[in-house]
Structure 1
Amino acid sequence: MTRDAWIAAYHGYIDCLNRQEWEKLGEHVHEEASHNGSPLGLAGYRAMLEGDFRAIPDLRFNIAHLVAEPEHIAARLSFDCTPVGKLFGLPVNGRRVQFTEHVFYRYEQGLIAEVHSLIDTTAIAAQL
C-alpha cells in the first residue's frame, strides 16, 4: 500500500468509530489486536470502544495530526465531549471537557494489530 492508501485506511477506521459501525470494525482491526500491551482481540477491542461510547454518548474522534510511515500510523486525536460519569477516574459527571490522545498504531496484514495510547488526563483534571 502507498502512504496515501494507509492514510485513507486510517480515515476509514475513524469514520467507522464515529458512526459506531461495530459490525465493520473487523475491516480495520486485526482479530488478535492489542491495546497498550493487553491482548484484547477484536471482540475485546470492540467491547472497549462500546464502553467508551456508553461513558461518553457524544464521543467523536477528530484527527488533529496524522503521520503515516507504513506499517505505522501516529495520530493526535482531539475530543470535545460530555462524559456522563467518571472518566479515567475523574469525576466529570456531565461536564463538557476537551482533551487529546496521542496514539500509535502498528498494522499487520493491512489491519490494526497494536494500539498504544496516551490520553491527556491532566487537561481533563484542569477543567474540573
Structure 2
Amino acid sequence: MLVEGFSDFRVTPGPFLYADNMIAARLTVTGTHTGPYMGIPPTGKKIQAIAHTHYRLHEGKIAELWDCTDALSLLQQLGVLPPMP
C-alpha cells in the first residue's frame, strides 16, 4: 500500500537496540504521494513519518514483528486531517 501510494517510498533506519532475541528500531519513512493511499487520491505532497518497529528473532530469523507508525502526522501532512493547534 505504501509503495503504490508513494512513488519514491524510502525507509531510512535510525538508532536501534538489541537485547536477547529482540530488536527495536526507529525508522524514518519518506515519499511523495503520487498514487492512491488508503482511499486518499494522490496529492503530490512529500511526507516524512516516524515508525518504531520491534522484531522478535528465533533461530536467526524474524519470528514476529510489531510496527507503530505515526499515522496521525502522515494524514496531517497529506491534508486529510488538520494540523495540531
TM range (shorter): 0.7 to 0.9
Equivalences, count: 77
User: 1:107 corresponds to which letter in structure 2?
Assistant: L
Equivalents in 2 of 1:68, 1:83: separation in Å?
33
TM-score w.r.t. the length of structure 1 is: 0.52
Q: How does 1:89-104 map to 2 (within 5 A)?
A: 89=38, 91=40, 93=42, 94-104=44-54
Query: Which residues in structure 2 correspond to 1:12-23 (within 5 Å)?
Result: none
Q: What value does the CA root-mean-square deviation take over the aligned residues?
A: 2.0
Q: Confirm or deny: 8 A CA contact 2:4 2:36 kept in the other structure.
A: no
More helix by share: 1
- Matched with 2:69 is 119
* Residue 82 of structure 2: aligned partner: none
Q: SS at the partner of 2:74?
A: helix
Return the offset for 1:63.
1.2
Higher strand share: 2
SS at match of 1:84: coil
Q: Percent identity?
A: 26
Residue ranges of structure 2 left out of the alignment (5+ in a row) = 80-85
Alignment of 1:1-128 (within 5 A): 51-87=1-37, 89=38, 91=40, 93=42, 94-127=44-77, 128=79
Task: Answer whether contact 1:80 1:96 (CA < 8 A) is retained.
Answer: yes
Return the offset for 1:70.
2.9
For the 8 Å contact 2:5–2:34, the answer to whether it is kept is yes
In 2, the alpha carbon distance for the partners of 1:103 and 1:119 equals 8
Amino acid at match of 1:91: I
Displacement, 1:125? 1.7
Alpha-carbon shift at residue 77 of structure 1 (Å): 0.4
Specify the code of the residue in structure 1 equivalent to 2:27.
Answer: L
Name the amino acid aligned to 1:105: Y
